[in-house]
Amino acid sequence: MRDIYQEVTNTIIAELEQGAAPWVKPWKSGSCAGGAMPYNAATGKRYRGVNVPLLMGVSAAYGSPAFVTFKQALDLGGHVRKGERGTTVVFWKFLKAAAPAGETETTSDEGAEKLIPMARAYTVFNVAQCDGLQLPAIEAPKPINPDSRSDELEAAIANTGATITHGHAGAFYTSAGDAIGLPNFEQFRDASNYYATAFHELAHWTGHESRLARKLGNRFGSEAYAAEELIAELTAAFLCADRGVTGELRHAGYLDSWLKVLRSDKRAIFTAASKAQQAADYLTAAMERQALALAA
């Protein structure tokens, strides 16, 4: 029987063993996404969760973040070229089952039900692996100028409401003070690296008990610290791709610990990617909600 969790985990492990995270490797050396998030060219919908790191490297290899299924390529007036190999991605099918007492998620006339997520795999192809596609236009994020501050990103970060101070020797988030510390802007190699680092620390900030209340101890045990860093890394990668930032992520010192986590638990990357997506969604909503309020 096909084990999708192990297949996906093996794919990520293989990339990490080469010394680079798949969500970092694509765009230049040690940079996060310089293009749009991977998306389905037929529907325009962005891929989410674990599918993002699975597709980022493929996006860079082909120079496009757009993907289609074999059937979608035909529906778009083209076809996948003969001999091309696709990439496995995951979708979730929710099955209904009786919920144990105290664990009711939905209620119907028949009684309590619980929705159980089941992973299903399907294959997608980058549009560069296809011929004859008639694609709708999708606007990619405009890359920021790496040599200067971005008013748009400065406002977005401020809109989160996070307490951020500068002038520190390194970058950090402290849960005790619920605050982020960063070196001064001028100490970073360029603007992109400053914003990528800020996104990483904002990801940690979302885990506070007053926000997403991210508790990883029971799930990962002694590897909880490595798991939290993986979540922050993925969150930063998602935000970088979404906002055209090409700054370096902070993965290098964690590769060995991430490999240990993934080798011991085939579902770990799914959990980390899911929590990273939650963090990215939380931050994006905060950035946009405040911006709308100010514009009203």
List the pLDDT tens digit at each of the 296 positions of the chain. Answer: 789 999 999 999 998 888 777 776 443 433 343 357 899 999 999 999 999 999 988 888 898 999 999 999 999 999 999 999 999 999 887 777 765 555 444 444 455 667 777 789 999 999 999 999 998 777 767 777 777 899 999 999 999 999 999 999 999 999 999 999 999 999 999 998 899 999 999 999 999 999 999 988 777 777 898 999 999 999 999 998 888 887 777 666 788 899 999 999 999 999 999 999 999 999 999 998 755 655 55
pTM, whole model, 2 decimals?
0.85
Q: Identify residue 76 by its one-letter amino acid code.
A: L
CA 287, 288, 291: angle at the middle one, nearest 5? 90
Residue 67, phi-psi category: left (phi > 0), alpha (psi -120 to 50), beta (remainder)? beta
Q: Closest by alpha carbon to 281, among 91, 52, 22?
A: 52
* Spacing of C-alpha 52 from chain mean position: 6
CA 264, 266, 268: angle at the middle one, nearest 5? 85
> What helix, strand, coil percent values describe the chain, rounded to 5?
45, 20, 40
For the beta carbon of residue 61, count every other beta carbon within 10 angstroms: 12
- Judge whether 130 and 68 are in contact, CB under 8 Å: yes
Report the pLDDT value the prediction gives residue 22, as an integer from 0 to 100: 73
The neighbouring-strand residues paired with 89 are: 122
The neighbouring-strand residues paired with 93 are: 118
Report the pLDDT value the prediction gives residue 256, as an integer from 0 to 100: 87
- Judge whether 55 and 16 are in contact, CB under 8 Å: no
Structure tokens at 63: 């120079």
For the beta carbon of residue 7, count every other beta carbon within 10 angstroms: 14
- Identify each DSSP E strand in the chain by its residue range: 39-40, 66-68, 79-80, 87-97, 106-108, 111-126, 130-131, 164-166, 172-174, 179-182
Between CA 18 and CA 264 the distance in angstroms is 19
Question: Is the sign of the CA dihedral 267, 272, 273, 274 positive or negative?
Answer: positive
Report the pLDDT value the prediction gives residue 29, as an integer from 0 to 100: 34
Residue 244, phi-psi category: left (phi > 0), alpha (psi -120 to 50), beta (remainder)? left
Give the gyration radius of the chain's Cα atoms: 20
